[in-house]
Structure formats: structure tokens, C-alpha cells
Chains A and B, each alone.
Chain A
Amino acid sequence: MTTARRAPLPAEIDPTEEIMEIQMGPSHPASHGTIKFNLKLDGEVVVDCDVEVGYLHRAFEKMAEQGTWTQVIPYTDRLNYASPLINNVAYALAVEKLLGIEVPPRCQYIRVIMSEISRLTDHETCLGMAATELGAMTVGFLLNEARELMYDIVEAVTGARLTVTYTRIGGVTNDFPPDVADRIAAALTHTRALIADCDKLLTRNRIFFDRMRAVGVLSQADAISYGVTGPMLRSTGVNYDVRKAYPYSSYDHFEFDVPLGSTGDNYDRFMVRMAEMEQSMRIIEQALRNLPDGPVRISDPRITLPDKRQVYGNIEGLMNHFKLIMEGIKVPRGEVYHAVEGANGELGFFIVSDGSGRPYRVRVRPPCFVAMGALGQMLKGGMIADIVPTFGMLNMIGGECDR
């Protein structure tokens, strides 16, 4: 038997020397969200990164121009689906600003409570997923349990877990059910215990700390120039929170702190979010304690629907209902920008009205789209394995980023 001699290989490039181009995504098991990283790698080091978004584009802004002002609200649920109530509130506040109306105090407090519950679910989603991706599955389960507690309350109040469509222009759909204060108090006690467990499991965990500290650093100057807001900006030490800087919906009635980081790395982002959850719970408790009585929507036949008894009982009520549903609210001509503190940063609505019953332009200022613009730079120079925690701590929500 003859031994076949292998032909000598042509002079090859040493694969360890080569700059390799690799695409990570758009459907990668370790990235929650459909996104693609076009990477240039030198071994395991990311030399360059081009982030590609848009896989979840559903033409939100175009569709918002097709219906009445009220018909946009269900679409806003689908923006940041980890905290849909904040989107509802932001949109309603923007339209109310253009209409020049203010909702009753009880409604403002309800909106604050529901927004903070949403902030809790959003942070729990972000931290739970990010921890799971780093192998800390227990934390993922614990935070999912905490999130379920909040979803139960959201379901009891709005009738849905995610697609809530809770606000209306000029109020909210319905008042709290009678036992909600006790349910929230019980849920918060349980949530605090779960978060304390996560704190014990993660905060001083050597593996977790080493994966997060000094990874994905964004300097303060860069964060500002990139327009990054929310926990990511506060992790660099900038004290900017829309709830404090431009209080809306009675946020100035509540006492809460704005947790700040110092280095702007993933660990600080994690710590800021952990601390913010406690602040959200503080706000919920204060708002429940001082919840004013009264109506939950303004009573103006041009803006809010009449009572069902009126609709079925007399012709004026029926006509009022018909006109509002078919023709919509006549928002005066003009343009307005209103920002709220979303879970990931400043969530703004820029709306333009031409005076007809339909929006002329509805623009969302999505916090995570803007933050995603900085992601390429945050990943550059890091290891390929650092993409996962950095992207996790950015907490991109596809529905909001791609609209």
C-alpha cells in the first residue's frame, strides 16, 4: 500500500493574524432582540462593529397618520413592550399638551403608579435577561417571578398583561379595582425579597463582577454627544432624569432619589437599574398612600367619551359617542414635543396636528434607538464575549428601536 503524500499547502496566511469579518445575528441565541452585528475581529478582539437595526420595522409613524388620535394608543403599546404603560402615558400627555388640558389629580397619580410598575417590569426584564445570558439563570427566574407579580397587577387594572392600551386622551380607561392597594403592597413586599436575593447572587459575585466591570465603557462626554439618556447616562454620573428635570404628571409630589454611577461601564448600569427599582417602589407607595379621590378622566364632550348610560339612554349621548369615534378628537393646529422618563431614557413624542381629526405626524424619540447609535463605539476594542453583556445592559427593545 502506497502512502499518498499530501501536496504541500500553498503559503497560507496565518489565521491568527488575519482580520476576520463575521456577522453576529440577526437571530442569535445570546441576544434578545433581532439585531445584527457586522464585526471585524482580530482573534477575539472586536476591531470594528457596524450595528444593523430595522428588522422589526412596522411603520409605526406611518400607521399613526392613518387613524384618529385615539387610535394611535394601541400602537404605542407595541413600542417598548417591556413597559407599555409608559408609552401610553407619554403619548397621552403629548396630545393633552397640544389640547391644553390637564387630567384630574387622581388620574395623574394612577398614571404615575402604572408608569413606575412598568419601570419595574422593564428593569426586571433587562437585568433578568442580561444575567441569564451570563449564565446566572437563577436570577433570570427570580426576576421573571418578580415581573409576573407586576404583570398580575397590570392585568387586574387594565385587563391585559402587555397590550394594555390603558390611557385615553384626557384620562385613563377605568379606575383602580377596589383591592388594588393591598395587592400592590403584597406584591412589593415579595418583589423586594426577590430583588434582595438577586442582589446577594450577583452584586458581589466574582464572575459577574469581572464580566461587567470596565466593560462597554462610555465616557460622560460621549454619552452626552450620542444623546444617550436614562440609566446609561446616569451610570456615567450625569444627573439627568426627566422626572426631576421637567416634572410631569405630579412627579414633583414624590420624594425619590436619582441613583448615579461613576464609571459608565456595565456594572454601573446594572447597579443604577437595581437602585432605580427601589426608588420606583418608593414612588408607588407614596402615590398609593396619598391617592386623591375624584374622577379618572376629564369631563369634556369634545375629548372624552360619555358615560355608557348616556350613550344607550339618550340621543345626545349617542351622537356624542358616534362623533368622537368616527371623527375623532379635533386637536388644534400646532406642534408639540413632550418627553417622559422611559425605562431606558427620554421617551419623547413630537406630534404635529393640522387641525383635522387625524394626526399629521407622530414622531417617537426612542431612547434605545439613540443609545444603539453609541453601541458600535462601546464594543470597539472589547472582546467578542463582551458584546452580550454590553448589549444586554443597553436593553434594546426591538419594538421601540425599529418602530
Chain B
Amino acid sequence: MGLIAPLVPRLQEIFAERIVASHSDCGDETIVIRRDDALDTFRALRDRPEFAFEFLMDETCVDRLGETPRFEVVCHLASLTHGHRLRVKVGIPEEDPVMPSLVPVWKSANWLEREAWDMFGIRFDGHPDLRRILLYDSFVGHPLRKDYPVNKRQPIVSERDPIATDWKFS
């Protein structure tokens, strides 16, 4: 796609104090944004024609146990129009693991956020259907957290009654 002008300086100009930190290590342009107005920032990243990030490629979480904030929600955005990519990170404190849901902006956030909830216990505020996705409902804990022991056993669960289970439809 040819040479692309660096994004981070342009983003800093527009979003100013919303951007907490930034780097472009290994060529991956990255910004860390504030959590409070994260949804607006993401919406602007999608809708402003000079950025036009149509794709939310990935949304996941990293548990940096021992650091503050402990969790980091990591989103990888891509633009079809311009061919540029951006990593957007949001710090999430341990005592209040809530992140505004991106489902209103990108539909792909639905399943990706369910997975992040399943694996890390991040609650996505405004998610229409925040259920576990890869694990089962009676699973205890969030296994990709660093303080979840790798050899931990789960209690044996009784068979799920398919009739009594209340399936949720979108």
C-alpha cells in the first residue's frame, strides 16, 4: 500500500489529552487512551475520514499483574481505505474491571468481548449479551489471569438440563 505517514502525531493533534501514551515499536503504531471517553475516541477513529478504521480486527486483554493499572484491553484496528493499522490500548484497574463495550461501533466486538470476559473477567459496559463463550457457565474464575494456576481443577458440574436452560437469543 505504499508509504503511510505516521499516524501517532496526527492522532495526538486531534485527540490531545485523551491519549495517555504512545509508541511505535517494531513499526506497530500504538496509542493508550483514557477509559472514560474511550467509546467516543473509538467512534471518532472509525468515522473520521482521515482515519476510517472500518475493521476491529481483534480485541483482547493482557494481565500485567503487579503493575497499575493491572489490565490492558488491546484493540487492533485496520483501515481498508487507507491501509493503515493502529493498536489502541485502554488501561483497566483491578478493583474496577469495567470497559465500555465497543459493540455499538463494531459488531465484531460482540464475540471478542465475550471472550475477554470469559478469560479475564473484564466487564464490558453496554454489551448486549455478556455470557461466557469458550468455557461453560459454571466455570469458576477467569483462566487467562496471571493469578489463575495452570493446573487448577474445576468442580465437576452436573449435566446441563437442555429443557430448563434459558437460551438467550440475540
Seen from chain A, the residues whose Cβ lies within 8 Å of a Cβ on chain B are 21, 23, 38, 40, 48-50, 53-54, 57, 59, 61-63, 65-66, 97-98, 100, 222, 224-229, 238, 240, 245-246, 334-337, 339, 346, 348, 350, 352, 360-361, 363, 365, 369-370, 372-374, 376, 402-403
Contacts and interface: CB of A to CB of B under 8 A. Distances in A.
Nearest to A40: B169
B76 A337 contact: yes
Given A225-B106, A245-B83, A335-B74, 8 more contacts: A21-B167, A97-B27, A227-B55, A227-B112, A335-B30, A337-B28, A348-B58, A373-B108
A226 B28 contact: no
Given A40-B169, A62-B144, A350-B58, A97 B26 contact: yes
B57 A23 contact: no
Nearest to A221: B54
Interface string B105-137: 011101110010001000000000000111110
A67 to B, nearest CB: 11
A226 B109 CA distance: 8
A57 B134 contact: yes
A226 B107 contact: yes
Nearest to A21: B167
A227 B170 contact: no
Interface of B: 1, 25-28, 30, 54-58, 60, 62-63, 74, 76, 80, 83, 85, 87, 106-108, 110-112, 115, 119, 132-136, 143-144, 150, 162, 167-170
A359 to B, nearest CB: 12
Contacts of A246: 1, 83, 85
B111 to A, nearest CB: 4
Nearest to A367: B57
Contact of B107 (A54, A363, A374): A374
Nearest to B118: A54
Contacts of B132: 54
B110 A373 contact: yes
Q: Is the interface of A mostly helix, strand, loop or mixed?
A: mixed
B56 A227 contact: yes
6 contacts: A38-B167, A62-B143, A350-B74, A363-B58, A365-B76, A373-B111
A353 to B, nearest CB: 11
Given A225-B106, A374-B107, A54 B134 contact: yes
Contact of A348 (B56, B76, B111): B76
Contacts of A365: 57-58, 76
Contact of B144 (A40, A61, A352): A61
Contact of B108 (A226, A245, A376, A402): A226
B109 to A, nearest CB: 8
B62 A53 contact: no
Q: Give the top 8 A-B pairs by smallest Cβ distance, nearest first.
A: A227-B108, A373-B111, A54-B134, A48-B169, A365-B58, A225-B107, A57-B134, A38-B167
Contacts of A53: 133-134
A57 B119 CA distance: 12
B143 A224 contact: no
B42 to A, nearest CB: 13
Nearest to A224: B54
Nearest to A99: B26
A50 B169 contact: yes
A54 B80 contact: no
Given A50-B170, A226-B107, A240 B80 contact: yes
A240 B54 CA distance: 12
Nearest to B143: A62
Nearest to B129: A50
B133 A335 contact: no
Contacts of A238: 80
Nearest to B105: A225
A98 B25 CA distance: 9
Contact of B134 (A227, A348, A402): A402
B133 A227 contact: no
Contacts of A339: 57
Contacts of B87: 335, 337
Contacts of A403: 134
Nearest to B56: A227
B58 A100 contact: no
Contacts of A48: 169-170
